[in-house]
Amino acid sequence: MTVNVPLPVTDAIAAVDAWFEGLGRPFLGKLPADDPLLAGRGKVGWRISTRGHELLVLVDAAFPFSRPNCYLPIATRAMPHVERDGKLCLRNPELPGDPVSAISAAIGLARKLLADIAAGAEDDDFQEDFGLYWAQGCYGHPARLLGLAGAPSAFSAWMASDTALYGFRNRTDAERWWKHRFGQSAAKVHRMATIALDVLPHPDSYPKTAIELWELVERRSKDGTAILRECLDQCPKSLLVTLTGFAPSGRAHAASLYLSRKVDDRKVPLKRRVIVGASRTGPLSIERLCEDFNVRRLTTQALDAASSRLPYAERDQLARSRVAVIGCGALGSGVARLLAKSGIGQLFLVDPDTMGWENIRRHQLGAGFVGLNKAKALAHAIAQENPDIVSITPHGVNIQTVLAEEPALLRKMDLVVACTANWAANAAIDNYMVVHGGPVCIYAWMEAHALASHAVLVTPDKMFALGYDAAGNPPMTTSISERPAPVECGGLTTPFGAIELAHAEGLAARLAMDFLRGRSTKAEWRTWLTDAASLADAEGAWTPEWLASRGEPNPLGEIVSAEWQ
């Protein structure tokens, strides 16, 4: 087998120099040291002629342990997959052991891209990656949008902080998000124009002035002109306008512009009454309105970008889902956080306990929350981390009290996840489900030393309690251990670690998501079993009953599933 040994950096540059010299006429020489593209320590560049273009190939001081980049001299017209500074967006391989091959591969991909551009094969990229092209050349505060990608034309809401502008579908969403993220009510909510375009514009057509914006909306939007006109008629000091639309693939986009009113020669802000008074015979023309505004294109960020891996319909469905997590201890807190990060819009948390120092290595909340109720502290933390969540309601009491005081609460849920590790609480939940015929409930728990964890999905036609005796003892456990559990039941020690816990959290949260997405519809019992090394650390073993029923587990750990009888 041949092993490529990386060359010293100076030898790598010398080898690439020799390779370029060998190209003959296509090689146009090295970039001069004072070229702006070489600003920075240790950069080197070469020039070649290929496919009717001058192509620049640059490496930085880390080469050959970094990827070479290709540039075109900055063009006046936008080109697909070419950034504003002329850099080509390539996925060339990193080949630290062979610098010449790394350069050759980059040039080969650049040549293919130039050929595809010339053939028109990449024209749709301006719409597919609309947000990336829009952001090129944008400076200043970004616009951060929630739920506006692909949204229809409408009056929307926006607000500003010291570092960004924020846009939302409506005032309710704006105030809720702000309260979740910053813990206080928004100071001022403004009206915004959201305008849906039939076709997203080419970079050469991005509006630079207010009248160009108006002309774009006139050409590309069926219903946006009325909204934009009404906003401009109000002569605001500033206005956020968001353009939305879809790429040919169906990918949704949104991008914003900031309109600020100009000042007159005396440096005094133009008052609305002055503008209105300037035309006493009727409304101002759109040309007259537009000339009073400056326009700045904004880098646009999606506050809900994290949910983009799911289809749009599923995202909306999950945002409407109502899930109760009963028990917000080590396991339940992790399950609740995973569900929030997965897009569940409405969470209800139930736990009477207080955070203690013994919790901080295994609980989602750390030392800063010691002394606080787990459900209430977790609700605050999740809302701040995921401010787009619709609602998160804590109940700092046990589930028995909740059922007594709000007997209809669980009936409103799409799913209940019980992580109580308490037989009486689970029995109360199970009894409630039988009496009311649902909803579906997942019961999740861990065995001693976290050698195994379980998640059982119980449908309305089943009962969880039928798997246990009257005292809550199961007919079959998965593991046994020679090492006794802490006598204080974890009050002063941690009987398992965060890594073992992560498997249990993922097991229960995944089963919950599979149910909510329609992938698991029957009563099901999933079990995670630890690896052989962790089993030995705990002086544990698999029970004979488990081995007879399920067989020997994988020594690297595994998840198994069976029907819940």
Q: pLDDT (tens digit, 9 = 90+) per residue, 333-368?
A: 999 999 999 999 999 999 999 998 888 888 899 899
Whether 115 and 134 share a structural domain: no
In CATH, what number is assigned to the domain containing residue 351?
3.40.50.720
**CB proximity list for 483: less than 8 A, separation 6 or greater:** 449, 538, 539, 540
Whether 410 and 556 share a structural domain: yes
At 42, is the pLDDT very low, low, confident or very high (cuts 50, 70, 90)? confident
Q: How far is CA 314 from CA 145, 308, 457, 471, 512, in A?
A: 20, 10, 21, 41, 14
Q: Roughly what angle, to the nearest 10 degrees, separates helices 171-182 and 374-385?
A: 120
Whether 498 and 372 share a structural domain: yes
Of 90, 105, 123, which marks where a domain is finished?
123
CA distance 435 to 405: 17
CA distance 232 to 229: 5
- State the amino acid at position 180 in one-letter form: H
Of 57, 89, 123, which marks where a domain is finished?
123
Whether 35 and 65 share a structural domain: yes
Whether 266 and 332 share a structural domain: no
Whether 135 and 113 share a structural domain: no
pLDDT reported for residue 270: 47
At 9, is the pLDDT very low, low, confident or very high (cuts 50, 70, 90)? low
Query: Mean pLDDT: which of 3-7, 92-96, 183-187, 290-294 is highest?
Result: 290-294
Whether 299 and 317 share a structural domain: no
Give the count of domains, the chain.
3
pLDDT reported for residue 237: 93
**Residue 488 pLDDT greater than 60, yes or no:** no
Specify if 329 maps to a domain: yes
Specify if 91 maps to a domain: yes
Specify if 163 maps to a domain: yes
Mean pLDDT of the chain: 88
Whether 524 and 445 share a structural domain: yes
DSSP 405: H
CA distance 375 to 394: 5
Mean pLDDT of 90-116: 92
**Residue 452 pLDDT greater than 60, yes or no:** yes
- Classify residue 63 by burial, with Cβ atoms within 10 Å: 0-12, 13-18, 19+: buried
Q: pLDDT tens across 250-301, in order?
A: 999 999 999 999 875 444 444 444 444 444 456 788 999 999 999 999 999 9
pLDDT reported for residue 274: 46
**Residue 164 pLDDT greater than 70, yes or no:** yes
Whether 195 and 96 share a structural domain: no
Mean pLDDT of 129-149: 91
Residue 365 in tokens: 């909340």
Specify if 497 maps to a domain: yes
- State the amino acid at position 257 in one-letter form: L
DSSP 170: S
Mean pLDDT of 426-446: 91
**Residue 387 pLDDT greater than 80, yes or no:** yes
Whether 164 and 68 share a structural domain: no
- C-alpha 25: how far from chain center: 49
Query: Mean pLDDT: which of 7-16, 118-127, 262-271 is highest?
Result: 118-127
**Residue 142 pLDDT greater than 50, yes or no:** yes
Helix spans in 183-300 (H): 210-220, 224-233, 272-277, 286-290
Mean pLDDT of 389-399: 94
CA distance 148 to 537: 51
Whether 437 and 292 share a structural domain: no
Of 123, 153, 177, which marks where a domain is finished?
123
Whether 502 and 372 share a structural domain: yes
- Classify residue 157 by burial, with Cβ atoms within 10 Å: 0-12, 13-18, 19+: buried
- pTM of the predicted structure, to 2 decimals: 0.77
- The parent domain of residue 429 ranges over 312-563
List % helix, strand, coil for the chain (3-state, nearest 5).
35, 20, 40
How many CB atoms neighbour CB 57 within 10 A? 22
